[in-house]
Structure formats: C-alpha cells, structure tokens
C-alpha cells in the first residue's frame, strides 16, 4: 500500500523510497515512499482546490466537521494497540508511553470537536445603539503541518485537529525519522469521511519536501515544530509570500527544587518528579526538565539520589514490558548527545 495521500488517493510518489529504522536495533521497520517535486505541486494544488471550493470543507456546517473529528477519535481508540505498537517501533518509546500518546491524541480530537461546535461565532454589544458586532471564526486556508520525531502523532494532532475543525485544508510533512503513525492517522481521517484534498500527506526530508512546501505560493500557513535553525529557515522561506507561521522550537527548561518542597510533598516525590521530568522518553521532550536548580540545603541529598536512580533506569526495547525507557531515536542523535556530554 503506497504511503503518500494526495487528493484522496494513495500514491507512491516520485521521490523513491526510504527505510524507517527501529531505534532499538536499527532494523528496517518499513520501507516507505518519498515525495518528489511533482507530488509537492499536486498536494498543494489539491489542498488549494479543496479549500477554494465554495461548497467544500470550509462551508460544511461546524457540526459536520466536529462529527468527523469525533469519528477520528473513535477510530484511534479502536486501533489503539496497533497504532501504539507502530509508534514504539518507530520512535523507540515504551509501549506504555505510546498508549498514553494515543489517548492524548484521542482527547485532542474530541477537544477540538467540542471547541468548534461551541465557537461558531458570537455577537457582542459594542455600546453603540442599533449596532451589533459578530465575531466569526474564519479558516486560514491551506496549512502545511511539519512535525518532529519525538511525539510524531501527538504533535500532528495539535496541528491537524484545530485546522480541520476550523475548515482549513492541510498538507502534512512528518519527520522522515518517524513517519509511520502519521500515515496511519491519515488513513483513519479518510475512513472517518474527510473529503478528498482536505488532508494530504507527503513523506520525505526537510530539504526535499518541507522547504518547497514552506516556500510555496499556494500555501497560506506553515505550522512547524522542531529545531531552532529549521524554524528560522521556515520563517525566511515563508516571508517571500507572507504566510502565517507558527513555530515551536527547542527548549531548555529549568526545574526548581526548594527545600520546603522536600519538607512538604516529601523527598521521594521530589526525586520522582525531577527524574520523570528529565528522563521521560529518554529525555527527548522539548519541555524536559533538563536543568535542575536545587536549594543548597537539600542539594547534595537530591542530586545524589537522582544520580543513583538514573543509573538504575532500565533502558531497553520499547516493546519489552521490563524496559522503563526506550533507546534514543537514532544513531545520529546519540552521537550528537555524546558530543554534548564530552564537551560538558
């Protein structure tokens, strides 16, 4: 079954194929199709036509769009075990974490379905006789959704669900490292009744697919989550055609421990929370508590306990219930982290 979805049809595209690797043992999980320049053109044209259709998705009653989002949520729950397994094979995270992700994604689709249904617009008395203002929510247009590899499905849901709820049409470009569950989500969107052209997905690298999408004149908005340098490149690329851009970039988050917290919630809870904050998904979380600032009077005890427990974390295959955390996402990423450790 081909992996690209353009204008309501699954297609192999013209960019060849690429192997998706299991982070645990670098085995090939799946060989997927890659988009070429003509696929980029076709996907944007399909999303553009679907958006510009005056009787299309944007004109559908909000209740209808919300209904499609709810069906996607139900289908996610129906296929939860399968999708969670694929997310683990693709990202390396444990099955427990993948299952939590699928529940989160389900909640996101339900949340935006509810929000759309209650936010159709409202009237406001602006204090001028015989004049009422009506606040209407308009869709932005064709949205390009570019996602990173750490939370592939969850990151996509935060972009796709609100875009669909609002009546936008989309071209999805998932990370080339972890594209598999994004493809599964598009299959569910198709099954849920999203019309042709409204959701399209292209697989490929940033330079070959992400960059031409960010530059494309037929695109109204780019929503991007990923690294700082890529975000800067996307903002530059989108400037030529003055697109709307939403970027969520890298972070370094301080986690502060005061002595009275240790007295209050207890030493165990403080250490548990600090460990989870930094080591969830092997630390590959943009909001990971990567810097720990501890009040001096409790610093030695907290740091010693965290170090001891960190040494004892069982790293292993995400599919193995005995693993407490999975491997890093790729060899390249591990090399980057080892570099940081060495320079530190």
**Which residues are at the interface with ligand NAD (CB under 6 A)?**
146-150, 173, 175-176, 205-207, 210-211, 214, 225-227, 230, 233-234, 248-251, 286
Neighbouring C-alpha atoms within 13 Å toward the C-beta of 75: 17
Q: What minimum distance in Å lies between the beta carbon of 39 and ligand NAD?
A: 15
Query: CA triplet 46, 52, 56: central angle to 5 degrees?
Result: 85
Residue nearest to ligand NAD (CB): 206
> Under DSSP, is residue 66 helix (H, G, I), strand (E, B) or coil?
helix
Among candidates 86, 295, 79, 294, which has minimal Cα distance to 179? Answer: 86
Catalytic residue chosen out of the listed positions 248, 295, 296, 331: 248
Catalytic residue chosen out of the listed positions 286, 296, 305, 331: 286
C-alpha 307 chain-centroid distance: 31
Look up 286 and say whether it is catalytic. Answer: yes
Contact, 234 vs 206, CB < 8 A?
A: no
Give the nearer residue to ligand NAD in terms of CB position, either 5 or 57. 5
Q: What minimum distance in Å lies between the beta carbon of 213 and ligand NAD?
A: 7
Q: What minimum distance in Å lies between the beta carbon of 154 and ligand NAD?
A: 9
Q: What minimum distance in Å lies between the beta carbon of 230 and ligand NAD?
A: 3
Look up 143 and say whether it is catalytic. Answer: no
| Residue 279 to residue 97: CA distance in whole angstroms | 12
Segment (H or E) for 52? helix 37-52
Give the nearer residue to ligand NAD in terms of CB position, either 250 or 264. 250
Give the nearer residue to ligand NAD in terms of CB position, either 30 or 248. 248
Contact, 219 vs 144, CB < 8 A?
A: yes
Give the nearer residue to ligand NAD in terms of CB position, either 147 or 157. 147
Q: Which residues are catalytic?
A: 248, 286
């Amino acid at each position: 079954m081909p992996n690209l979805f353009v204008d309501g049809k699954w297609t192999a595209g013209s960019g060849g194929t690429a192997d998706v690797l299991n982070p645990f043992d670098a085995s090939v999980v799946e060989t997927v199709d890659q988009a070429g320049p003509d696929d980029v053109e076709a996907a944007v044209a399909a999303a553009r036509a679907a958006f510009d259709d005056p009787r299309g998705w944007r004109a559908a009653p909000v209740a209808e769009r919300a209904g499609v989002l709810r069906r996607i949520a139900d289908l996610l729950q129906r296929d939860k075990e399968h999708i969670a397994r694929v997310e683990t094979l693709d990202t390396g995270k444990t099955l427990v974490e993948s299952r939590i992700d699928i529940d989160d994604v389900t909640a996101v689709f339900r949340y935006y379905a509810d929000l759309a249904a209650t936010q159709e617009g409202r009237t406001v008395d602006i204090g001028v006789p015989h004049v009422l203002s009506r606040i209407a929510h308009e869709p932005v247009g064709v949205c390009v959704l570019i996602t990173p590899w750490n939370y592939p499905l969850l990151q996509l849901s935060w972009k796709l669900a609100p875009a669909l709820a609002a009546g936008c049409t989309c071209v999805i470009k998932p990370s080339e490292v972890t594209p598999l569950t994004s493809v599964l989500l598009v299959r569910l969107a198709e099954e849920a009744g999203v019309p042709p052209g409204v959701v399209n997905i292209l697989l490929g690298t940033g330079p070959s697919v992400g960059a031409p999408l960010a530059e494309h004149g037929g695109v109204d908005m780019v929503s991007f989550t990923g690294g700082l340098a890529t975000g800067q490149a996307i903002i530059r690329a989108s400037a030529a055609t003055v697109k709307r851009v939403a970027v969520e970039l890298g972070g370094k988050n301080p986690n502060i421990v005061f002595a009275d917290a240790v007295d209050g919630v207890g030493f165990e809870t403080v250490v548990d929370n600090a460990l989870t904050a930094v080591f969830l998904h092997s630390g590959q979380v943009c909001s990971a508590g990567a810097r720990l600032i501890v009040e001096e009077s409790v610093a030695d005890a907290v740091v010693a306990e965290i170090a001891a427990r960190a040494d004892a974390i069982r790293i292993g295959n995400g599919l193995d219930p005995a693993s407490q955390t999975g491997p890093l996402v790729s060899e390249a990423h591990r090399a980057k982290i080892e570099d940081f450790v060495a320079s530190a």
